[in-house]
Amino acid sequence: MKYHGFDNRRYVFSAMVIVVVLTYIIRLFYLQVLSTEYRDSAKSNAFLKRTLLPERGAIYDRQGRMLVGNQSSFDVMVVMRNVRNLDTLRFCNTLDITVDEFRNRMADIRNTRKNPGYSSYVGQVFMNQLTLEEISRLRESLYLFPGFSIQSNSFRQYRYSAAAHLLGDMGEVSKSEMESDPYYSRGDFIGKQGVEKQYETYLRGVKGTEILLRDAVGRIQGHYLDGALDRPSVPGSSITLSIDIELQMLGERLMKNKIGSIVAIEPSTGEVLCMVSSPTYDPSDLVGRHRSANYGQLSSTWSKPLLNRTIMGTYPPGSTFKTAQALTMLQEGIITTETLFPCSRGFVFRNLRVGCHSHPSPLRLREAIATSCNGYFCWGYYRFIGSDKYKSPQEALTVWKDYMVAMGFGYTLGIDLPGEKRGMIPNAQYYDKAYGRHWNGLTIISNSIGQGEITLTPLQIANLGATIANRGWFYTPHVVKAIEDNEIDSTYKVRHSTGIDRQNYEYVVEGMRQSVISGTCVSAASGDYIVCGKTGTAENRGHDHSVFMGFAPMENPRIAIAVYVENGGFGAVYGVPIGALMMEQFINGYLSEASLAKAEQMENRIVTYDEQER
């Protein structure tokens, strides 16, 4: 009988050989055809692909003065696969870093959570924004550190120590920013705030590349194919802002040692002429390798110098809001210009009293605006909310709120800066929730004088001034006037009408003019042009806030302005004189000798703040 065991083993052995051979064939096919690992390794030895970073677009003011340019800097790059036999201690001494810092940086580069898209064949940023002096030591001994190279870059250079909140700053790109936009790689810089962030895609430009040939020891031999595959970088677009840097610097001087803001707008265009947020900081403090430490120090300061109060601070507008009330009551027929209301040192009804200062009584609308009479506007608002014209207080408040929204309150205006807040204009549902449906004009009487739940940003108050100056319309405020080779957003060319008759605005303008002639704004008067203004004294837990809103000239106005000084007291104490100086600077182009003396006095005046205000 024939034994078949040997034949069976032969078949098994043959099958195993075939499987091994097929495995090798498949593996070789994968490595040589499908996989890029060895091809990348070979290319990495022969070629160096270098990213060419574009020059970031410059920023100018409305007069063409450069505000932000670029200064040369250098990045230390590393191709991880080429790092070998590194004298770590010598390398660290050359760059003036510790060995622990070196190890942490190398670990962060390899960490794909922190560095998405990491490849050991591609150059990575090891250290960035070194100055020429800092990079010189490394350049002399670079041949000793295989895998490392130097890449030219730039960082922002500020020509003026002003407009920090408006201009914004640059910071290293985050993981989420890299994931949301493939343009960025680890070590790149991106706009973090202000114009730098809002217009990032215009300012950043387009990266280029060059492919260099290397010899066996890594020395550059020239461009591959004589540069046929290289792609130059494209510089970013320059941007012209609407602000006047001299006006901005004056505003920052006047707000020294004070907390608050100044916003000025050109009524005919909606262009923002200045945006002062105080306290402020030197924009150069957030540039370079010391940015992180300086940012930490600024963010821990109690006065919040990083907060852009012009668009992020929400405050009670105080008596500047009475102009909006007057316009609404006139349009709805609740009052006429001849309507008289009493003021017995304030509004007194039943057990409710809202105080006021001494002035003649009763009085008409123009005098009520000029003297900033609380009694007049409380009576008018009470009549509005309780009017038989509406079915209920809820309906009356809805009508009132619609007018407020049309004037630019309660929602963001849409300025071309990140972080704008909306403020607060309460609706009927808000009070129904707070009081049930049993509320009336007396319950919410504080709204009539810009207190209670009402809050606006300084930008919204300035826009109110611009709308009154235009007699009923405004453009969305914006800080960019022009973009190189690009049109500005058409949003900023659309007129917004409040739906209130021009004649009603003329009545309010007369009241604001009277305020400068004989009312609460007399210190804003000028012999060169006609000023219209309205003060505000906004109640607060501690000292009241000092507020001013105005525009000039009365006809064909060139500037509308809002000044808000926290804890500054009456509007006439800080708001009016600061606003007057700012209008004079913009309209005349300079300050008179007398005004220069006033500006110096205002600069040296210090507003003190109680601990409870911090």
Strand-pair partners of 422: none
Given a cut of 70, is residue 107 above it in pLDDT?
A: yes
What's the structural domain count of the chain? 2
Distance CA 581, CA 587 (A): 10
Residue type present at position 587: I
- Both tokens assigned to 312: 């992020």
**In this structure, are 468 and 492 located in the same domain?**
yes
**Other C-beta atoms within 10 Å of 221: how many?**
10
Given a cut of 70, is residue 38 above it in pLDDT?
A: no
**471-485, pLDDT tens digit by residue?**
999 999 999 999 998
Buried b (16+ CB within 10 A) or exposed e, 37-68: eeebeeebeebbbbbbbbebbbbbbbeeeebb
For every residue of 497-562, DSSP letters joined together read E-S--HHHHHHHHHHHHHHHHHSTTGGG--SSS--EEEEEEE--SSSPEEEEEEEESSSS--EEEE
**In this structure, are 130 and 253 located in the same domain?**
no
**47 located within any domain:** no
**In this structure, are 428 and 527 located in the same domain?**
yes
**Other C-beta atoms within 10 Å of 276: how many?**
29
Full-model pTM:
0.86
What is the rounded average pLDDT of the residues 226-251? 93
**Other C-beta atoms within 10 Å of 610: how many?**
10
**In this structure, are 255 and 210 located in the same domain?**
no
**21 located within any domain:** no
Domain that holds residue 508: 245-286+305-607
Residue 207: predicted pLDDT: 92
**367 located within any domain:** yes
**In this structure, are 205 and 262 located in the same domain?**
no
CATH of the domain at 142: 3.90.1310.10
pLDDT band at residue 120 under the 50/70/90 scheme: confident
What is the rounded average pLDDT of the residues 604-609? 88
**In this structure, are 377 and 467 located in the same domain?**
yes
Question: What is the Rg, in whole angstroms, of the alpha carbon atoms belonging to the chain?
Answer: 33
**In this structure, are 567 and 548 located in the same domain?**
yes
Q: Label the pairing between strands 189-191 and 271-278.
A: unpaired
**14 located within any domain:** no
**In this structure, are 205 and 325 located in the same domain?**
no
Distance CA 27, CA 31 (A): 6
Residue 156: name the closest of 54, 286, 51 by CA.
286
What is the rounded average pLDDT of the residues 264-284? 97
For every residue of 209-256, DSSP letters joined together read EEEEEE-TT--EEEEGGGGTT-B--BPPPPEEES--HHHHHHHHHHTT
Given a cut of 60, is residue 329 above it in pLDDT?
A: yes
- Both tokens assigned to 89: 């201690």
pLDDT band at residue 30 under the 50/70/90 scheme: low
Buried b (16+ CB within 10 A) or exposed e, 376-392: bbbbbbbbbbebeebee
What is the rounded average pLDDT of the residues 559-566? 98
Number of residues in the chain:
614
Residue 222: predicted pLDDT: 75
Q: At which residue do the structure tokens 């007396």 appear?
A: 442
**294 located within any domain:** no
